Amino acid sequence: MVALNDVNGKMVEGYKVAVTKPGELTYTLKNLKAGKYTLAVYHDANSDEKLNKNMLGIPTELYGFSNNARGTFGPPSFADQTFTVSGETKMAIALK
């Protein structure tokens, strides 16, 4: 699952991306207007369309954010996740 958000945290687009082989996935978001965005990605291992968490609220499925930003107790700040699109923009996000 991929969520593209504006810098205010409002979802612009949500994508369900099929994984064709384990290990690495390439996905292209087309026709994005120039501007600032954030991306949140998670592997929906059980296909229930949500990021599953344990009793303490800690995710049990792999997830990641743009710029590979990580939060300490919760998601990283939008400032840490924000990236600028101006033409072709590439980003690698590691899921942990």
Interval 54-92: pLDDT, tens: 999 999 999 999 999 999 888 899 899 999 999 888 888
Query: Quick check: is 20 in a domain?
Result: yes
DSSP string, 61-85: S-EEEGGG---SSSSPPHHHH-EEE
50 vs 7, more confident: 50
Q: Please report the pLDDT score of residue 69 as a whole number.
A: 96
Q: What gap in Å lies between CA 53 and CA 38, rounded to an integer?
A: 22
pTM (2 d.p.): 0.87
Q: Please write the tens of the pLDDT for every residue from 32-42.
A: 889 999 999 99
- Would the pLDDT of 21 be above 80? no
Instruction: Count how many domains the chain has.
Output: 1
**96 occurs within a structural domain:** no
User: Range of 14's domain?
Assistant: 2-85
* 74 against 23, higher pLDDT: 74
